[in-house]
């Protein structure tokens, strides 16, 4: 009987030691393979094919695939920047979209404004390009924008969008491809046309260009994909977190205003608010020569638009921005 008990004891001891050994080995294996950081970054999965302005983009081709992969990962993991862009789009897309539609420009071109200026109407590049659509001072007048001391219409959301539409239609008449139109907006029509001839290619996306231009189109694709599917890429917003559209009264001006601060007070707003919504006013006055018959429109924000009220239902321009699955 004692021998049997001893045998059972030794067997159980062996089994216990084996379990402890294997458990220790598994724990060590888990420790060795677990991440060394508290968060993980996953490479983005994206569709094999996308459309921009109604034109299909083949993302199976290695260079198209890798160029888009770079931009979609970069844009997805620029967390705070991307969140702010979606918030600002709720204010500016309702202004941009009707102007694009009126001029028969594909709606997707609103994403060009996103990558040009981050939807900042006061953006200025190191080269001197300014406004939502980043017009250069020498180019802007060709598309109907006034650029002067008191007035610079590159900073007007409405007028600069109209000017951009003129460029898009002009370039499309030349190329017949919206992708070429987008590339030429960054590189210039002369560069795109010249490189097509030198490289013997018909499509701008097949050209060997400087890195900024090569990335440009795919940055627009990435912006479009994320902003149309924010929840899919980890961006969760509520309606009350979007920036509210501003309602305005329009004041027509055809005579000189010598003091814009006084003008603002007369219209029950601050000088800051006047300049914020009329950034095309570049100095403290608006000079209109007596012989000039030009009329300007100054936007005066309505008082109820200037505050975020508790319980207020902010109008959501695109329901996909607050779609949580």
Alpha carbon distance 267, 275 (integer Å):
13
The per-residue pLDDT of the chain, averaged, comes to 90
Residue 35 has pLDDT above 80, yes or no: no
pLDDT in tens, 57-71: 989 999 999 999 999
pLDDT in tens, 149-199: 999 999 999 999 999 999 999 999 999 999 999 999 999 999 999 999 999
Which residues fall within 8 angstroms of residue 142, CB to CB, at 6 or more apart? none
Burial call 78-117: b when 16+ CB within 10 Å, e when fewer? eeeebeebbbbbbbbbebbbebbeeeebbebbbbbbbbbb
| Per-residue model confidence (pLDDT) at position 44 | 86
Residue 31 has pLDDT above 50, yes or no: no
User: Does residue 135 sit in helix, strand or coil?
Assistant: strand
| Per-residue model confidence (pLDDT) at position 241 | 95
pLDDT band at 30 (very low <50, low <70, confident <90, very high): very low
Full-model pTM: 0.87
Q: What is the mean pLDDT of residues 232-239?
A: 94
Residue 5 has a CB neighbour count (10 Å cut-off) of 9
pLDDT band at 324 (very low <50, low <70, confident <90, very high): confident
How far the first Cα of the chain sits from its last, in Å, is 68
| Per-residue model confidence (pLDDT) at position 183 | 97
Residue 10 has pLDDT above 70, yes or no: no
Q: What is the mean pLDDT of residues 66-79?
A: 92
Burial class for 27, CB neighbours closer than 10 Å (0-12, 13-18, 19+): exposed
Provide the CA 58 distance to its chain's centre, in angstroms.
22
Residue 87 has pLDDT above 80, yes or no: yes
pLDDT band at 228 (very low <50, low <70, confident <90, very high): very high
Residue 316 has a CB neighbour count (10 Å cut-off) of 17
Nearest one of 90, 77, 55 to 237, comparing CA atoms = 90
Q: What is the mean pLDDT of residues 29-38?
A: 55
User: What tokens appear for 119 in the block?
Assistant: 């939807």
Phi and psi torsions of 51, nearest 5°: -120, 145
The C-alpha R_g of the chain, in whole angstroms, comes to 29
Residue 297 has pLDDT above 90, yes or no: yes
From residue 53, give the alpha-carbon distance in Å to each of 111, 165, 170, 181, 281: 11, 14, 16, 11, 34
Nearest one of 58, 57, 118 to 92, comparing CA atoms = 118
Q: What is the mean pLDDT of residues 93-106?
A: 98
Q: What is the mean pLDDT of residues 133-154?
A: 97
| Per-residue model confidence (pLDDT) at position 33 | 56
Q: What is the mean pLDDT of residues 281-286?
A: 98
From residue 144, give the alpha-carbon distance in Å to each of 18, 34, 141, 176, 255: 84, 60, 5, 23, 21
Phi and psi torsions of 50, nearest 5°: -135, 165
| Per-residue model confidence (pLDDT) at position 41 | 83
Nearest one of 74, 50, 77, 75 to 61, comparing CA atoms = 50
pLDDT in tens, 268-281: 999 999 999 999 99
Nearest one of 71, 12, 33, 2 to 224, comparing CA atoms = 71
Q: Which of 17-21, 30-34, 150-154 has the highest average model confidence (pLDDT)?
A: 150-154
């Amino acid at each position: 009987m004692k021998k049997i008990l001893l045998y059972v004891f030794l067997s159980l001891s062996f089994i216990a030691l084996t379990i402890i050994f294997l458990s220790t080995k598994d724990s060590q294996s888990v420790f060795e393979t677990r991440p060394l950081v508290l968060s993980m970054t996953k490479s983005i999965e994206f569709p094999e094919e996308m459309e921009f302005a109604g034109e299909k983009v083949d993302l199976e081709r290695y260079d198209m695939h890798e160029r888009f992969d770079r931009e979609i990962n970069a844009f997805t993991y620029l967390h705070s920047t991307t969140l702010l862009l979606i918030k600002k789009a709720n204010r500016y897309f309702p202004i941009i979209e009707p102007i694009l539609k009126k001029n028969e420009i594909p709606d997707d071109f609103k994403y060009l404004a996103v990558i040009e200026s981050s939807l900042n109407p006061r953006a200025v590049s190191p080269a001197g390009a300014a406004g939502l659509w980043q017009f250069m001072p020498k180019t802007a007048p060709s598309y109907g924008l006034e650029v002067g001391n008191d007035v610079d219409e590159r900073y007007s959301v409405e007028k600069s969008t109209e000017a951009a539409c003129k460029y898009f239609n002009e370039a499309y008449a030349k190329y017949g491809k919206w992708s070429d139109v987008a590339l030429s907006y960054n590189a210039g029509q002369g560069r795109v046309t010249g490189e097509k001839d030198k490289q013997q290619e018909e499509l701008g996306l097949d050209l060997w260009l400087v890195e900024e231009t090569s990335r440009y189109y795919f940055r627009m694709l990435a912006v479009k994909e994320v902003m149309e599917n924010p929840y899919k890429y980890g961006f969760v917003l509520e309606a009350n977190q979007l920036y509210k559209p501003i309602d305005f009264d329009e004041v027509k001006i055809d005579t000189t205003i010598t003091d814009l601060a006084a003008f603002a007070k007369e219209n029950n707003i601050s000088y800051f608010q006047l300049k914020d919504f009329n950034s095309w006013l570049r100095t403290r006055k608006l000079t209109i020569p007596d012989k000039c018959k030009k009329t300007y429109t100054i936007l005066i924000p309505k008082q109820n638009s200037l505050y975020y009220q508790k319980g207020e239902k902010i109008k959501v321009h695109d329901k996909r921005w607050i779609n949580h699955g």
